[in-house]
Amino acid sequence: MSKLSHYDAGGSPRMVDVSAKAETKRTARAHAFVKISPAVLEKLPENPKGNPLEIARIAGIGAAKRTWELIPLCHPLLLCHADVEVAVEAGGVRIVATATTTAQTGVEMEALTAATVAALTVYDMTKALDKSIEIQDVYLLEKTGGKSGDFRRGQ
């Protein structure tokens, strides 16, 4: 296993110096699932707060852009693209977030943050109907670019 780069020689946390790294195109996709009862799923279109899925999508995009403000050692990145797909399916809402940059470091955290905040927003928009809603399965689906190469879950 390689050493974690967010710690200095003395074991103290630090922001990684990426100044010597080349700017390359980097992408990431992340997943989250919001487990919701069929009764609550049925009521999504009539939510008095608005369309929970569209609001979650916009919240996720906004979160991707602000990841560096939320995660202490993340670099501020200029995103070339961020998107969140939100789909109702049996048992809940599936969320897939995508982030792209041309930078010196990857966008995995931006995609994961987008997926997570979108899931939290679905919860916020529906919690009045059911407090037992669960956010599940937050994980990286894939990432491309950078020195460490490509990653695809399951390969």
Q: Indicate which residues carry an active-site annotation.
A: 124
R_g of the chain, CA atoms, integer Å: 17
Q: How far apart are the first and last CA of the chain?
A: 18
Cβ atoms of 97 and 142 closer than 8 Å: no
- C-alpha 102/C-alpha 125 separation (Å) is 34
Contacts of 80 (CB under 8 A, 6+ apart): 100, 101, 102
Order of strands, sheet of 92-103, starting from the edge strand that comes earlier in the sequence: 79-89, 92-103, 24-35, 134-144, 151-152
The total number of residues shown for the chain amounts to: 155
- C-alpha 76/C-alpha 126 separation (Å) is 32
